[in-house]
Structure 1
């Protein structure tokens, strides 16, 4: 409190209404929950909240900015104190149904339940910040129910399909990147990997940094998100040979171009040594899947394929978790290890040998 007396003027139709309101204001003032009317807009509050997240990663800020965009576009000029639950419900419905228009005039597609729930989380946090700042008496988004999560089976490649991709990779200049993807590295880890992280004599590969996409055309490099993500992996003979060939090719391209080669030191680079963006890796992955004549799956699903292949080979879950960089093996079990059709058929044959009529 500043000690300065605040006067609030409002008009009421009857003396009774005025006395009731005075009672409410007096109670709120006594409990230090009274919030006077202010002209702070939704846009002001969103911008201030984002600016308050001092330690957030660039990717986190980018995701939150994306989640808040529809709210800022539709209600940005509205005083945040006038924002209502129906306003948010209508916006959620419109995002779910598709057809909202961005600030640049583009029409949005339908938002998935996951995107809708991220928006709700962002709205709640932003409005909680308003309550904390005493700009709002309560959070109108607090009780919004989230959309039910859509169940989807993660796509993985069978051992045969993995083999087809790797055979195609052997004829691709970027083939070593697809070996790394199918060895369980994340897209950001492949994009951030440097030749200095690879010791071909000791046969080790160290994950020391990420390069992530933070919006179109913007790439940010940072440390791995968790301590378990920072790890050193042994290289088998096959992967060591693939990386040795790729290293030699990098040296040849650098020598051939001379000053025209930027010599960035990254493993995932163009012929001039410029590091690929994470989005470029995704596009090139789509091309290799097409060349291998396998069903298209996400680049991240190559990581799922690695975990599943290890699981089907009998590798303990704790070891798979360590390899993939998970802090908790339960994450590995729930997200990355899947039984595939061939394994299920084998299980049925095995069960048939036990459960049979005599």
Structure 2
């Protein structure tokens, strides 16, 4: 409702300023209750166990309803539809490693690395172009994206000025991109005259740009195959922010890597605290007090006057 109001307010402002069709914007005075962003939660062992029980119950019900063994597609649909503790769920570092290991042999493995570790949006990863990638310098320029309008893919510039950025790449991701380029060259030879020289890093088997939904579909299949609890593809972006902060990366660097206008938005929206990081912070805090307590045992902090 808030997004609808914002769209209407913007459209009516244009009607006032450019077309002079109206002289008052009614959407500007519409009041709505506050809308809180869903809180990102980490898939802890306890949450995974509870969700797994729900998944098995739903699979049993679906199998009894159909009276036959479920197909793989049906199982994935049930897997993706089981309610989660929060609309936004984040994998632990171990979960992310497991997924990337599973995806390593997939033709889009490098794309998933960019989303999981560098926090690219789906459209930005799909829209990445070779001319904007410098493997020698270890950088990728995010200057293009492919999004969906309904079902139709739409090519265009990143959503904001801050989203138009250059992202640093780790050595393993550079190696993955080198391997992907070799694979793409082999596909080009196999396609022959059918090849489309689109210039995109990630393409279909004949060089055409990918449909964004195709990337999401493959993602769910890979996660399901390796038995991971479900997250949305966009949730890998939340996980990337959490991984960077857990690794000690400065918040400003995380903000610029994700392409946000402000670090406040990054902190409030895209970060989750891993249980092990929270425990380490608690232990560090207690250790600081314990160190001070040890010193206090050998020296009095205040000399009290003698009273007779």
Q: TM-score, normalised by structure 2?
A: 0.70
3-state SS, counterpart of residue 269 of structure 2: helix
Partner of 2:192: 258
**Which shows bigger deviation, 131-140 or 206-215?**
131-140
Separation in structure 2 between the aligned mates of residue 130 and residue 239 of structure 1, nearest angstrom = 47
Separation in structure 1 between the aligned mates of residue 9 and residue 183 of structure 2, nearest angstrom = 51
Candidates 144, 164, 172, aligned match of 1:209: 144
Candidates 166, 170, 177, aligned match of 2:100: 166
Partner of 2:34: 148
3-state SS, counterpart of residue 167 of structure 2: strand
Given that 2:119 and 2:258 are in contact with CA atoms closer than 8 Å, whether structure 1 keeps it comes out as yes
- How far off its partner does 1:307 sit? 1.1
Separation in structure 2 between the aligned mates of residue 144 and residue 208 of structure 1, nearest angstrom = 36
Q: Against the structure 1 CA distance between its residues 247 and 130, is the aligned structure 2 distance closer, same or farther, given a 3 Å change threshold?
A: closer
- How far off its partner does 1:226 sit? 3.0
Q: Against the structure 1 CA distance between its residues 185 and 341, is the aligned structure 2 distance closer, same or farther, given a 3 Å change threshold?
A: same
Candidates 196, 218, 242, aligned match of 2:131: 196
3-state SS, counterpart of residue 299 of structure 1: coil
- How far off its partner does 1:137 sit? 7.4
Q: Against the structure 1 CA distance between its residues 353 and 300, is the aligned structure 2 distance closer, same or farther, given a 3 Å change threshold?
A: same
Partner of 1:311: 245
Aligned residues: 242
Given that 1:224 and 1:230 are in contact with CA atoms closer than 8 Å, whether structure 2 keeps it comes out as yes
2:213 corresponds to 1:279: yes
Candidates 174, 181, 184, aligned match of 2:115: 181
User: What are structure 1's unaligned runs of at least 5 residues?
Assistant: 1-115
Q: Against the structure 1 CA distance between its residues 294 and 139, is the aligned structure 2 distance closer, same or farther, given a 3 Å change threshold?
A: same
- How far off its partner does 1:232 sit? 2.1
Candidates 219, 242, 264, aligned match of 2:153: 219
Q: Against the structure 1 CA distance between its residues 355 and 324, is the aligned structure 2 distance closer, same or farther, given a 3 Å change threshold?
A: same
Q: Against the structure 1 CA distance between its residues 334 and 253, is the aligned structure 2 distance closer, same or farther, given a 3 Å change threshold?
A: same
Candidates 235, 244, 262, aligned match of 1:328: 262
- How far off its partner does 1:324 sit? 1.6
Q: What is the RMSD of the two structures over their aligned residues, measured on CA atoms?
A: 2.6
3-state SS, counterpart of residue 208 of structure 2: coil
- How far off its partner does 1:211 sit? 1.4
- How far off its partner does 1:300 sit? 1.6
Q: Against the structure 1 CA distance between its residues 272 and 338, is the aligned structure 2 distance closer, same or farther, given a 3 Å change threshold?
A: same
Separation in structure 1 between the aligned mates of residue 174 and residue 257 of structure 2, nearest angstrom = 17
3-state SS, counterpart of residue 166 of structure 1: helix
Q: Against the structure 1 CA distance between its residues 352 and 222, is the aligned structure 2 distance closer, same or farther, given a 3 Å change threshold?
A: same
Separation in structure 1 between the aligned mates of residue 28 and residue 237 of structure 2, nearest angstrom = 36
3-state SS, counterpart of residue 234 of structure 2: helix
Which structure 2 residues correspond to residues 278-297 of structure 1 after superposition, within 5 A? Answer: 278-297=212-231
3-state SS, counterpart of residue 273 of structure 1: coil
2:283 corresponds to 1:342: no
Given that 1:117 and 1:147 are in contact with CA atoms closer than 8 Å, whether structure 2 keeps it comes out as no
Separation in structure 2 between the aligned mates of residue 131 and residue 228 of structure 1, nearest angstrom = 29
Q: Against the structure 1 CA distance between its residues 244 and 145, is the aligned structure 2 distance closer, same or farther, given a 3 Å change threshold?
A: same
Separation in structure 2 between the aligned mates of residue 266 and residue 208 of structure 1, nearest angstrom = 12
Given that 2:37 and 2:269 are in contact with CA atoms closer than 8 Å, whether structure 1 keeps it comes out as no
Given that 1:208 and 1:223 are in contact with CA atoms closer than 8 Å, whether structure 2 keeps it comes out as yes
Q: Report the structure number with the largest CA radius of gyration.
A: 1
Q: Against the structure 1 CA distance between its residues 129 and 200, is the aligned structure 2 distance closer, same or farther, given a 3 Å change threshold?
A: closer
Q: Against the structure 1 CA distance between its residues 335 and 271, is the aligned structure 2 distance closer, same or farther, given a 3 Å change threshold?
A: same
